[in-house]
Amino acid sequence: MARKRRDDAAAYTFDLVGDDAEDFDAGRALVTQAAAQAGRPGVPVPDAGGPAVGSPGGGLTTKDGPAAPPSGWRAWRSRATTSTQAQDGATYRFELVTDEDDDGDVVAEVRDRVAANRRILVPAVGALAALTIVGATVGTVREHQRAERLRVAAGGVLSLDDAPEERWRAQVPTMNLGFLDGDLFAADAEGVHGIDPQTGDEAWSVALDDAQCGSIDGQWWSSMPDLGQLVCVQGTGDDRTLVVVGPDGAVSEPRRLDPEAGVPHPGPRGTVVLVRRVGEPGDPGDAAVDCLPDSSCSTTGQVASARDIEVRVEDAVTGELRWESAVDAEVGGDTWECVSWSETRTSLDLEAVRVGGGPTLVTMDGCGVHAAWTADGATLGARPVDAPGPFGPSYTEPVPGGYVQRSVQVGSGFKDRFYGPDGTVEQEVDGSVLIPQSSDGTADGFHFVGGIPTLTAYDAGWGTLWKASLLVDRVLAVADGIVVVGGTSSTKVIALDLATGGELWDWTVPPETVSDDGSVVTTGGGWINQAFTDGRIVVVAMQASSGIEMPPVISYGLDLVTGEVVWTDAAPGEATLLSAGGRLYRLEFTPSQDTEFEWSAELVGLG
């Protein structure tokens, strides 16, 4: 079926369906007594010997005998059904079905049939009323489905028709924010605080002691997925316990951890990741860290060896083993991987291990260690530490349909390696796998790879769809059959047809933008670093370069089909946009007056 644009009249698909209930026969059709009296051969009429068509027991017959259902009628029924009573007493039944096979413009087909038998439809005023009811039902169902897709899609927002306006603001920790069963949450050392996304009021609170909750890894700077449950490790040293925070702030019974099992870290899907070093003590070799009074540091020399690692992943509530693994440590030329730092000190640390990953992934980086696993424990490989990629050390991150490991050495070159959901290697590509920053929920069936100087689109099975001669390194949005791309060092946005790769429009950030307070903001020198969409509008956001210490964030709402600028918005000071559950938020940062290393933050609800 042809795609309808938002400025077109609404188009709904109706299928005439056979009814599989015992009290109905093969099918139903629009019919009146006038048609029956016409006696036209082949025209369905109510069975004179039984109930009217559409009533219990009614079948289809013609003047020539029993009628077979028209070609293309479906033999199944959906949950949304309506019927109406015509003047002659016959009931006409319309059933709402999903247009799964995209078999063309069914409405046009029905319209052609109606034109050929116009006299049949004249008395059926009630049937037209039914079409109106069904049309409204179809629209409601489709809008509900669209909203559900946007709520879970990266960068998805329910409506971006107008520039966002501030609804509320709340003081929050600067980093550990998330989304939990429909509520926002902010976690700090004292506990977890639920935030009502509509009002910004505290929805619930869980008091904890020296707590570390969840993982801040992932695309938290753009969108926050719903975690469903949040694992928190509280306490220090050998005295640590686990709790799991669920919907509405429900908390599991605390579980005390065995200090010999390893250092605990919150894991994905209600797990705790226990990590411990094993084997002979590491050898620092001639490695050293030197720091100047201005806190800038450098490293010299090279670490000789580090200890291996054992990993055990348990159910956070019950302690049941989910999976376990081991990593052989291999140190390389990058001494920084063996450095730890805090607010007061930067030092060599041969035991350093950093655990992250997010809702579907466990990653581990540290002295001699670089590894990743799926949430179910499938190993996603480790990079050769003596051959970092051209853009720095390799790392692994989740992408639609699986995971990608960046800058893996393959032969004499470097490739991005794509893993399926089960951890199997599906593809190795020259260039960089580009993750769509926003979507209306339709991005999962595609892969995009940026190279020099070509952008390549693949289907879900890595079959090539098209190639475009474009030097881009970001997929900003995938929605409504359109892919919007751009570059980190560029202010130009290009929209391509998702099916063919043909260019639809392009737009460049203007050199100056007038903010809401009337001031002129210089955008030259900035770059586009975020994107959001509702499937009709794509929002691109950039940090302006206005010659001031804290340049504002400028957002442009572009019509997805035409590229026309629908609205412009400027947020003062250091800020970043976030989406969660189909809503848009802004996180604003303010530097502390006491020290340059401390910041405060406010979360602003937009609507």
**12-42, pLDDT tens digit by residue?**
444 444 444 444 333 333 333 333 333 433 3
The number of C-alpha atoms within 13 Å of 528 and in the hemisphere containing its C-beta is: 28
Higher-confidence position of 200 and 395:
200
Q: Which residues contact 497 (CB under 8 A, 6 or more apart)?
A: 481, 482, 503, 504
What value does the mean pLDDT take over residues 226-249? Answer: 92
Burial of 473 (0-12, 13-18, 19+ CB in 10 A): middle
Tens-digit pLDDT profile for residues 99-142: 444 444 544 554 454 455 444 444 455 666 666 666 666 668 88
3-state secondary structure 281-347: CCECCCCEEEECCCCCEEEECCCCECCEEEEEEEECCCCCEEEEEEECCCCCCCHHHHEEECCCCEE
Tens-digit pLDDT profile for residues 516-531: 556 666 666 677 889 9
Q: With 50 as the cut, is the pLDDT of residue 89 above it?
A: no
What does the pLDDT read at residue 173? 78
Domains recognised in the chain with CATH numbers: 33-152 (no CATH), 437-607 (2.130.10.10)
> Of 22-31, 224-233, 361-370, which range is least confident?
22-31
Give, as one character, the DSSP assignment of residue 551. P
Tens-digit pLDDT profile for residues 155-177: 999 999 999 999 999 998 766 88
What does the pLDDT read at residue 15? 46
Mean pLDDT of the chain: 77
Residue 490 confidence class, pLDDT cut points 50, 70, 90: confident
Tens-digit pLDDT profile for residues 440-462: 999 888 999 998 889 999 999 99
- CA 194, chain centre distance (Å): 22
Give, as one character, the DSSP assignment of residue 141. H
Tens-digit pLDDT profile for residues 275-304: 999 999 999 999 999 988 877 888 999 999
The number of C-alpha atoms within 13 Å of 202 and in the hemisphere containing its C-beta is: 11
What does the pLDDT read at residue 238? 87
> Of 51-55, 87-91, 158-162, which range is least confident?
51-55
> Of 75-84, 255-264, 537-546, 561-570, which range is least confident?
75-84
What does the pLDDT read at residue 453? 85
Tens-digit pLDDT profile for residues 566-582: 999 888 778 889 999 99
For residue 581, is it left (φ>0), alpha (ψ between -120 and 50) or beta?
A: left
What does the pLDDT read at residue 267? 93
The number of C-alpha atoms within 13 Å of 25 and in the hemisphere containing its C-beta is: 19
Long-range CB pairs of 447-452, under 8 A, 24+ apart, other chains included: 447/399, 447/400, 447/401, 447/418, 448/475, 448/483, 448/485, 449/416, 450/474
> Of 254-263, 336-345, 357-366, 588-597, which range is least confident?
588-597
Whose tokens are 């590491």? That residue is 282
Residue 383 confidence class, pLDDT cut points 50, 70, 90: low
Strand partners, 340: 347
Q: With 90 as the cut, is the pLDDT of residue 384 above it?
A: no
What does the pLDDT read at residue 148? 93
Residues found in the chain: 607
What does the pLDDT read at residue 514? 66
The CB density around residue 170, as the number of other CB atoms within 10 Å, is 18
Q: With 70 as the cut, is the pLDDT of residue 272 above it?
A: yes
